[in-house]
């Protein structure tokens, strides 16, 4: 269970106190505020704060385009137009702040998205908890045989058992030694900033992560994608649900134009045109490499 | 007067509708929300939305430093510590969204601050209003005789009158021609994206500008400074008042450590040490150039 | 002619001095270094410096993917793979520094691309030259009748003449007054930082602009596009030629996957699939709005 | 030894091939190009490419300030002026690309500097080497007793031996299991993206890191500082030496104004003024908290 009773009590208290505000409020998001949604075995995602709603997007767009935009009859239509034409600045006018608990190897992927604000728990300063990600048996995947950067089927039998035993035992032993090294009982105690180096990458950390909606959607497009590593995808999936309730028009446009969409090259567009005319197009006469053709076929 | 009756009515309506929220609310900022504070002859600054308060800063810092930070007994002390030690990430956890109306030559300085989100009125798409910044007589400053990038005393007499006449007449004539060129009465009408090039840089534009508190304070340090151009400084001064009411602890620390503070070089620090010991330090034995010494003297 | 004899002499001198370096060198770019390529009536683009070449992109990718990437048999194939899969970080490993002279209204669009480094000529500090963009007659376009943000045909006859006369005369008169206001002959002279506000937006400015290849390609995709305003598109077109010679594999991939490509929504992809099967798809049964359908038709 | 014979051969070859270029060349940096300077037990720093030199900084500043800057008689004086007045954009005109090998816990601190370009070795894709940072005995520091985020003296005797044994043995055991888990001999083999989670944070990774000079100096001010963790400071120290040879004027100004300098608050400045006048200033009458006063005393 990812939360202690104390933490749950704090959340309950925060959720019981409402204040008056003149700001735009998103009812769909208010219901999620502070609640920790479990992810993986010890992780969670919870909304700490948000700014703006669907209307904040169109309001910003109307500053840019003035009275002219009244032609686009409604908010949803305008949001779809902005998404379709990659007019990204109005989406930057919404902001989300999350509290996330996640394994270090997931955090290392996540942090590569640079246009966000982050405050991470400091293991130089404080002591990490004895919490490690151990995959559920069905997620203990083999290396893909077709793709260097991918997974195959789940391991099974003795091999699966051995892997789980290694992961658990090594984590526990490393943590025992971490604790023993920093202990100040009858010894000096190693500096925390050094001792932490003994902890494997499945140890959990946590951070506050604040990002604008445009950059958040970019993150979700990459990390909620089928090719993303499972362990970060489950976080992205959870965040998708929150965004869908927060800015429903923007999220729907995102699903249609980004998540479900695809970019075709000039060559691929040309093939599509020929195919629609009834022409037989093969890899050989497509102008594509084998890899591109395979991806093109999968798309259609 | 910068606002039309329609705009004022809209503001009044927005200010009369409060909703319930579970989010952190800053009472000092709620009272400013939506209100347009006049700046220069036709400009204004108004708060459209905000995220976080002083407590959001310490909350984020405590994620980083964990239980250890309880040693710093209170929120104000912790905020001062963070500011003093340039721990900037917790200040990034607050966000402000402003609606600003400002002359184009001011907008051109302002936009150089890259870490912000902007939606500007589009003169490709829409028609600019006949509004130009004309300096008040006391701000019609002469070129500084000591500093290439500065102002001297206000012009006076016939020279002042002539300058004001040029600014007014050129603006009006350029706008007359702008209107005439885009007119579609009995002619095709020049494209707006071209016609706008005839308007001088004192024409007003407007934008939504969203920025986190860390980057906002950096902007204010540079633009509310005595060396900033008067026409941007008045905007920065107005924003300072809003920030002081929004995050009072952070603003006070900012005033003490940034606005009122100064950075001394290694050489200057050495001189200070010698002077405190009672030694006579002159430019010649200071190790500083004449320019540095002049600035050092001005500081002490 | 955009360059004075002095400037041309300086360029000739720079181009006559070669030094030895151990760094990667792009022969296709060396031939362009320092040369000012004219754009519009007084503008130019010239390369001041560059870092990296096609090989720097694959080298960086191979740090990420290690020995595994040897499978992609050659550099061009790997660059195409990276572009197709939006792996943008290796493209950030190349950098370009340009010196650009351009009208202020173009500079205002350009600066919206935030991930670049800029040093602009300061009109607070120095005096602007009497140089204004006056469109060639064939680019004096009427407002589009179908699109608020676009151009129609070129103006003609008396209307065209009147527009050109306004643009020229207003620019000259504003500049005369600018000069007169800052003059210190027998008067104090208005501060430069104020006087500049009298100059219309077709006055020329100049800057150094440094950007990495990934962000440069993003800029080119938007600004070399048929929907971009003509006056910024000619700069983008000129830069495209330079990039094509600098990193030929990357540029070719960019042309195929970005410039000539298109993003299809989930709905549009579905229509394509139906059309390839021979089904009759109309706007009514497509699931698209009229606007989307029109764009979709134009694509195919 | 951080480099294999193969890698050393490649470096020797790169260093033996010079080409002609028209670009600005920094002789002080050419001598370092490609050479791997050892850091910690298995790490290194090496320059892969650079753009610009001291002259590129003043050249960019002169674009901004035009002819007026000729008043500052020489390049070094101008660079010192820019540094002293926080005019940061000219420093952004130089760029450095490094190849760094470093332990993961150091990489996690380093990556927090967001304004840089990074390509890291991918452990999803490729297999990490059996290389772990094991501190030298003199760097095996105890937790500071005065500062939660700091180190005390080196551990000694049996405690030191036990810590070293834990670090070595845990690293080796975790790596043995990593290898065994991904092995495809007589088993499926765990996906690399999962197996890596078993490796502790002292395992080495490597990346290409590209950054402009302004942001690099900011990094160095924080990470070459006495309060930075030793294991990142040694990298920063090594980079300082490279920068000193690359842009000697800029580096000297940086040393004087940033590394050796200090920011005084308004209150501290006031105390300095009083002390220079001969007044007795104590913590009680200083207006500072105990913590601030202690830091102020340490400075003077």
CB pairs C-D closer than 8 Å: 146
DSSP string covering D195-254, please? HGGGSBTTBEEEEEEEEEHHHHHHHHHHHSSTTS-HHHHHHHHHHHHHHHHHSHHHHHHH
Residue by residue, pLDDT tens for chain C (300 residues) are 457 788 788 889 889 989 999 999 999 999 999 999 999 999 999 999 999 999 999 999 988 766 544 555 688 999 999 999 999 999 999 999 999 999 999 999 999 999 999 999 999 989 999 999 999 999 999 998 877 777 899 999 999 999 999 999 999 999 999 999 999 999 999 999 999 999 999 999 999 999 999 999 999 999 999 999 999 999 999 999 999 999 999 999 999 999 999 999 999 999 999 999 999 999 999 999 998 999 999 998
- On whether C46 is known to bind a ligand per the annotation, the reply is no
Query: Across the interface, do A21 and B18 touch by the CB < 8 Å criterion?
Result: yes
Answer yes or no: do B190 and C122 touch at CB < 8 A: no
Rounded distance, CA B209 to CA B120, Å?
8
Is the torsion defined by CA of C219, C221, C223, C228 positive or negative?
negative
* Residue A263: closest CA among A19, A9, A86: A86
Spatial contact of B32 and B11, defined as CB atoms under 8 Å apart? no
Looking at the complex, does the CB of residue A208 fall below 8 Å from at least one CB of chain B?
yes
Is-contact D140 D154, C-beta < 8 A? yes
| Residue of B136, B162, B163, B185 to mutate, testing the C interface (most C Cβ within 10 Å of its Cβ) | B163
Model pLDDT, residue A7: 79
d(CA C36, CA C225): 23
Query: Which of the residues B223, B233, B258, B274 is marked catalytic?
Result: B223
Beta bridge partner(s), residue D212 = D95
What's the Cα-to-Cα distance from C71 to each of C75, C78, C81, C260, D114, rounded to whole Å?
Answer: 11, 9, 12, 28, 32
Residue A204, helix vs strand vs coil: strand
Return the beta strands (E) in A192-241 as ranges. Answer: 204-212
- pLDDT for B67: 54
Q: Per-residue pLDDT for chain B (300 aa), expressed as one digit of tens each? A: 457 788 788 889 889 989 999 999 999 999 999 999 999 999 999 999 999 999 999 999 988 766 544 555 688 999 999 999 999 999 999 999 999 999 999 999 999 999 999 999 999 989 999 999 999 999 999 998 877 777 899 999 999 999 999 999 999 999 999 999 999 999 999 999 999 999 999 999 999 999 999 999 999 999 999 999 999 999 999 999 999 999 999 999 999 999 999 999 999 999 999 999 999 999 999 999 998 999 999 998
User: How far is it between the farthest Cα atoms of chain D?
Assistant: 83
Q: How confident is the model at residue A131 (pLDDT cuts 50, 70, 90)?
A: very high
* Residue written as token pair 């924003």: B239
Across the interface, of C71, C261, C273, the residue whose CB is closest to A264 is C261
CB B271 within 8 A of CB B279: no
pLDDT tens digits along D69-87: 455 568 899 999 999 999 9
Q: Which residue has the higher pLDDT, A90 or D147?
A: A90
Cα C13 from Cα C3, distance rounded (Å): 15
Annotated catalytic residues of D are: 223
Q: Which long-range contacts (CB under 8 A, 24 or more apart) does B139-143 make?
A: B139/B230, B139/B231, B140/B164, B140/C190, B140/C194, B141/B230, B141/C190, B141/C191, B141/C194, B142/C188, B142/C189, B142/C190, B142/C191, B143/C182, B143/C184, B143/C188, B143/C189, B143/C190, B143/C191, B143/C192
| Closest C-alpha among C22, C21, C83 to residue C213 | C83
* Interface membership of D63 toward C (CB under 8 Å): yes
Contact C197 B198 (CB under 8 A): no
- Does the distance separating the beta carbons of C198 and B170 come in below 8 Å? yes
Residues D81-98 as b or e (16 or more Cβ within 10 Å = b): bbbbeebbbbbbbbbbbb
Write down the pLDDT at residue C72: 55
Nearest to A15 among B22, B95, B118 (CB): B22
Question: Given CA atoms D287, D293, D297, D300 in this order, what sign does their dihedral have?
Answer: negative
Nearest to A18 among B20, B99, B119 (CB): B20
Of all residues in chain D, the one with the smallest CA distance to A175 is: D170
User: Which residue out of B210, B211, B216 would a mutagenesis test of the A interface target, given it has the greatest number of A Cβ atoms within 10 Å?
Assistant: B210
Please check whether residue B146 touches C, CB under 8 A. Answer: no
As a whole number, the mean pLDDT across chain A is 93
Nearest to D209 by CA among D201, D200, D219: D219
For A202, which of D167, D171, D197 is closest by C-beta distance? D197
Identify the pLDDT of residue B63: 85
Q: Which D positions 163-192 lie with beta carbon below 8 A of chain C? A: none
Question: Is it the case that residue D280 has pLDDT exceeding 70?
Answer: yes
- Residue A73, pLDDT > 70, answer no
Q: What separation in angstroms does the CA of A25 have from each of A20, A49, D1?
A: 11, 11, 59
Q: Is the ipTM of this complex over 0.90?
A: yes
* Chains contacting C (3 or more CB pairs within 8 Å): A, B, D
Q: Does A229 score more than 90 pLDDT? A: yes
| Residues 6+ away with beta carbon under 8 Å from C95 | C50, C51, C52, C210, C211, C212, C213, D51, D95, D210
Nearest CA in chain B to D82: B292
Residue B135 near residue B151, CB atoms below 8 Å: no
Number of Cβ atoms within 10 Å of the Cβ of C290: 8
What is the arithmetic mean of pLDDT over A16-38? 96
Q: What is the pLDDT of residues A265-297, one digit of tens each?
A: 999 999 999 999 999 999 999 999 998 999 999
Q: How close is the nearest chain B Cα to the Cα of A101, in Å?
A: 11
Taking a C-beta distance cutoff of 8 angstroms, is the pair B212, B94 a contact? Answer: yes
Is there a contact between A269 and C77 if contact means CB atoms under 8 Å apart?
Answer: no
The alpha-carbon gap from C275 to the nearest alpha carbon of chain A, in Å, equals 6
Tell me the shortest Cα–Cα distance from C192 to chain D, in angstroms: 12
Phi first, then psi, for residue A39 (nearest 5°) are -140, 140
From the list D105, D142, D180, the residue facing A191 with the nearest CB is: D142
Question: φ, ψ for residue B212 (rounded to 5)?
Answer: -85, 160
Is there a catalytic annotation at residue A15?
no
- The reply to whether B123 sits in an annotated binding site is yes
Cβ-based neighbours of B109, under 8 Å, separated by 6 or more? B223, B229, B232
pLDDT confidence of residue B72: 55
Between CA A280 and CA A275 the distance in angstroms is 6
For A265, which of C149, C260, C300 is closest by C-beta distance?
A: C260
Q: Neighbouring chains of D at 3+ CB pairs within 8 Å?
A: A, B, C
Name which of B175, B29, B38, B15 is nearest B101 in CA terms: B38
Question: Are the C-beta atoms of A263 and C256 separated by less than 8 Å?
Answer: no
Q: Concatenate the DSSP letters of all residues of A80-95 into one string.
A: HHHHHTT--GGGGG-E
| B285 contacts chain C (CB < 8 A) | no
Domains of chain B: 5-133+202-259 (3.30.1360.170), 266-299 (no CATH)
Residues 67-106, chain A: which have Cβ within 8 Å of B? 67-68, 89-90, 92-93, 95, 97, 99
Best of A10, A18, A21, A205 to disrupt the B interface by mutation (most B CBs within 10 Å)?
A21
DSSP state, B98? E
Q: Do D194 and A141 touch (CB under 8 A)?
A: yes
pLDDT mean across residues, chain D: 93
Owner of token pair 């400002």: B102
The shares of helix, strand and coil residues in chain A, as percent rounded to the nearest 5, are 50, 15, 30
Tell me the residues of chain C between 12 and 41 that have a Cβ less than 8 Å away from chain D: 14-15, 17-25, 30, 33-34
Residue-wise pLDDT tens digits, D102-146: 999 999 999 999 999 999 999 998 999 999 999 999 999 999 887
* Residue of C23, C130, C223, C273 marked active site: C223
Contact C255 A266 (CB under 8 A): yes
Touching partners of B (3+ C-beta pairs < 8 Å): A, C, D
Residues of A in contact with B33 (CB under 8 A): 22-23
Q: Which residues of A touch B23 (CB under 8 A)?
A: 19, 21, 33, 49-50
C126 contacts in chain D (CB < 8 Å): 65-68
Q: What is the pLDDT of residue D70?
A: 53
């Amino acid at each position: 269970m990812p939360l202690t009773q104390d933490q749950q009590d704090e959340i309950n208290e925060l959720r019981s106190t409402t204040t008056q505000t003149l700001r735009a409020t998103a009812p769909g998001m208010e219901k999620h505020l502070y609640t920790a949604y479990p992810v993986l075995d010890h992780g969670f995602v919870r909304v700490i704060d948000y700014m703006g709603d669907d209307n904040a997007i169109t309001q910003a767009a109307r500053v840019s385009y003035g009275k002219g935009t009244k032609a686009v009859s409604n908010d949803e239509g305008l949001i779809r137009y902005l998404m379709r034409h990659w007019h990204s600045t109005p989406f930057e006018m919404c902001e989300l702040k999350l509290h996330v608990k996640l394994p270090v190897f997931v955090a290392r992927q996540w942090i590569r998205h640079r246009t966000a604000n982050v405050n991470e728990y400091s293991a130089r300063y404080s002591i990490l908890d004895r919490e490690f990600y151990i995959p559920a048996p069905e997620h203990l995947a083999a290396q893909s045989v077709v793709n260097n950067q991918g997974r195959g089927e789940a391991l099974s039998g003795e091999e699966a058992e051995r892997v789980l035993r290694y992961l658990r035992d090594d984590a526990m032993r490393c943590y025992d030694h971490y604790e023993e090294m920093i202990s100040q009982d009858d010894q000096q105690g190693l500096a925390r900033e050094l001792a932490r180096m003994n902890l494997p990458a499945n140890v959990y950390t946590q951070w506050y992560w604040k990002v604008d909606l445009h950059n958040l959607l970019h993150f979700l497009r990459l990390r909620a994608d089928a090719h993303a590593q499972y362990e970060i995808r489950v976080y992205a999936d959870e965040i998708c649900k929150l965004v869908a309730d927060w800015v429903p028009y923007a999220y729907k446009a995102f699903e249609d134009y980004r998540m479900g969409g695809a970019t075709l090259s000039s060559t691929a567009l040309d093939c599509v045109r020929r195919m629609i005319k009834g022409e037989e197009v093969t890899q050989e006469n497509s102008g594509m490499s084998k890899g591109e053709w395979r991806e093109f076929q999968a798309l259609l």
